[in-house]
Chains A and B, each alone.
Chain A
Amino acid sequence: MKYALFLGCTIPVRAQNYEMSAREVAKKLGINFVDIPEFSCCGFPIKSSNAESSLIIAARNIAIAAKKGEKICTLCNACTSVLTEANKELSENKEIREKVNEELGKIGLEFKPDVEIKHFSRILYEDIGIDRISKKIKKDLSKLSISVHYGCHYLRPSELYDCFDDAENPSSVENLVAVTGAAVVDYKNKLECCGGAILGVEEDIALSMAKQKLDNVTANNVDALVTICPFCSIMYEDNQRKIENKFNVEYNLPVLYYPQVLGLALGIDQKKLGFRLNKVKAKAVLEKAGVEI
């Protein structure tokens, strides 16, 4: 199984632990990642300014992958939705495709329909599958209890994702956590947005949105919150201290990327999974799981 790994903006400079753990997990499960240096921003941050420019940027990335004959694996939820949406729109709508290709032609590229684009978690769930993963589990994480935040663009708009999961009642990432042996703990308002997209517009609202999630997750005394998107993690992990100070609360909730958790269960050295880079220290989680620190 081979995919071009699409990193986007945030992961290569702010979420290297996500990237490291995804690469390690992929290696263990027989997914071959190809790096394409020409991949840029997906186009999401431009959409509010100009949807057409955003579409062309997305198309540029897809066309680069197609030219090299690669499928795309994303790690960020926003990248997933913007690239998938562009892929669908341009594959189905000839008029827009021709317009976009006129721009792409100026830089020597052409969009061709139907390149496969999938989030890494979806690949693990659909293409590797829970059964195959369960056969590779080396370390039982049953001492841990974990809650999952899916993140909006992993599930919605659901019309983009062929109903691989139920957008109103999802289970795919929770099943992926459960296969490690960890107890999956449900919580109030699981589908609520992290607020990341409006952090720069009104910080107070965005942080209040993230606070609700942290309140609801910590109400159950779980060991960690698992995310699959760097934007969401910035809200819950990088901004956790800020939220604690602003609202005079204390969470100390480790926020882990899913491949970090799966990586532990697959027996990968925690150093290779980038735990050192987690801003809310996960030492207690590792100790509880019986992992060598």
Chain B
Amino acid sequence: MIDSKDLDPNFKYEVAAEMGGQNITRCFACGTCTAGCPVREIDDKYNPRKIIRMVILGMREKVLKSDFIWLCSTCYTCYDRCPQGVQLTAIMTALKNIAAREGYIHPSFREQARLVKNFGRLYEVEDFDNKKREKLGLPPVQKNFDDLTKILDDTLPKEVLK
């Protein structure tokens, strides 16, 4: 049951102010997004139409603390097909970004952020890798990116790297 006193009517505007979130209030709940969603096809706990509806209703805590916002596979099928140009993939990103700032980041994305910050890539390149590349006739790749580490130290929310 939804209790109106638990709702935050400003949540949709908060999402709209986030990068990529600006079109959320255009949604007229047609369900084109959910009908074509490859994740929803496997598991109905991810349902883009329902998530947008929850945001518009103002179910802030429930959405931000949920597991499901992290399940968008970013295939952009809904983004391309939405008749209202809601740009759902970007809204999912906006929701994940707010959740990350509030300390609810999924551990998998926390780890990805840590790796990219420390090594400039999702994988730490070791001497072994460059030796293998040399044997294959490929040029070595750089192992450290101090400038990128600095950018992420300066711009990533503290809660992300905790």
Name A's B-contacting residues (CB within 8 A).
Answer: 7-10, 12-14, 16, 19-20, 23, 35, 37-38, 40-41, 45-53, 55-57, 60, 81, 103, 106-107, 152-153, 156-158, 167-168, 191-193, 195-198, 200-202, 205-206, 208-209, 212, 272, 274
Contact = CB atoms under 8 A, between A and B. Distances in A.
B76 to A, nearest CB: 4
A269 to B, nearest CB: 12
A156 B75 contact: yes
Q: Which are the 6 A-B pairs with shortest beta-carbon distances?
A: A200-B108, A156-B76, A193-B75, A9-B122, A107-B147, A40-B120
Contact of B100 (A35, A50, A208): A50
B110 to A, nearest CB: 7
B77 interface: yes
B74 A152 contact: yes
A60 B18 CA distance: 22
Given A45-B116, A48-B100, A103-B155, A202 B71 contact: yes
B116 A274 contact: no
Contacts of A10: 122-123
A12 B141 contact: yes
Contacts of B113: 45-46, 49-50
29 contacts: A8-B121, A9-B122, A9-B123, A12-B125, A12-B129, A20-B136, A23-B138, A38-B145, A40-B121, A45-B116, A45-B122, A46-B116, A46-B156, A49-B105, A49-B110, A49-B113, A49-B156, A50-B97, A55-B19, A56-B151, A57-B116, A57-B148, A106-B150, A107-B147, A152-B77, A157-B79, A157-B89, A202-B71, A209-B39
A107 B150 contact: yes
Most buried by B among A46, A81, A200, A274: A46
Contact of A200 (B42, B111, B150, B157): B111
Contact of A53 (B73, B137, B155): B155
A195 B40 CA distance: 12
A13 B19 CA distance: 32
B86 interface: no
A51 B96 CA distance: 9
B154 interface: yes
Taking chain A's interface residues, is the majority helix, strand, or loop, or is none over half, making it mixed? helix
Contacts of B141: 7, 12-13, 37
B43 interface: yes
B71 A60 contact: no
Contact of B80 (A7, A40, A167, A200): A167
Given A19-B138, A49-B160, A156-B77, A205 B155 contact: no
A198 B123 contact: no
Interface string B101-119: 0000110111111011000
